[in-house]
Amino acid sequence: MSDRTLVVNRYMEGFRRSDHAMILGCLTEDVVWRIHGQRTTHGKAEFDDEIENPEFDGSPQLTPDRTIEAEDVVVAAGTGVAHHREAGPFRFAFNDLFTFRGDLIAEVDSYVVPLEGSPQ
């Protein structure tokens, strides 16, 4: 497993634990996070605010099914479950594209697709 894939695994584990320091330690200071169709954050401070979205309780369950690496990009695809405060369990498929600068993640492009039975 490459060093970059290990960084992506640490990032995912940080979300499973809601461990802000673990996640932020994987990122450049000027990181950009595009959650396509929802919002874009710029820099670690905005990213940090999005780690625990106030519309959700607890930490998400994330299950990457596969990881692909090419040059400075690692792609992780899988499924997850989060608990929306009002609507209940939110099941989703995800595809996250991580662009690295050196050993750290500089950009995250997240594509999230609600799965059957989840609130839209």
pLDDT at 116: 81
What is the share, in percent, of the chain residues with pLDDT greater than 90?
A: 86
pLDDT at 119: 61
- Give CA–CA dist 78/66, Å, rounded: 7
The answer on pLDDT for 27 being more than 70 is yes
- Give CA–CA dist 26/76, Å, rounded: 15
pLDDT at 120: 58
pLDDT digits (tens, 9 = 90+) for 32-70: 999 999 999 999 999 999 898 888 899 999 999 999 999
Answer CATH for 3-114 from 3.10.450.50, 3.40.50.300, 3.40.50.11810, 1.10.3720.10: 3.10.450.50
CA 95 to chain CA mean position, Å: 9
CB 16 within 8 A of CB 62: yes
Q: Report the chain's mean pLDDT, rounded to a whole number.
A: 94
pLDDT digits (tens, 9 = 90+) for 61-111: 999 999 999 999 999 999 999 999 998 999 999 999 999 999 999 999 999
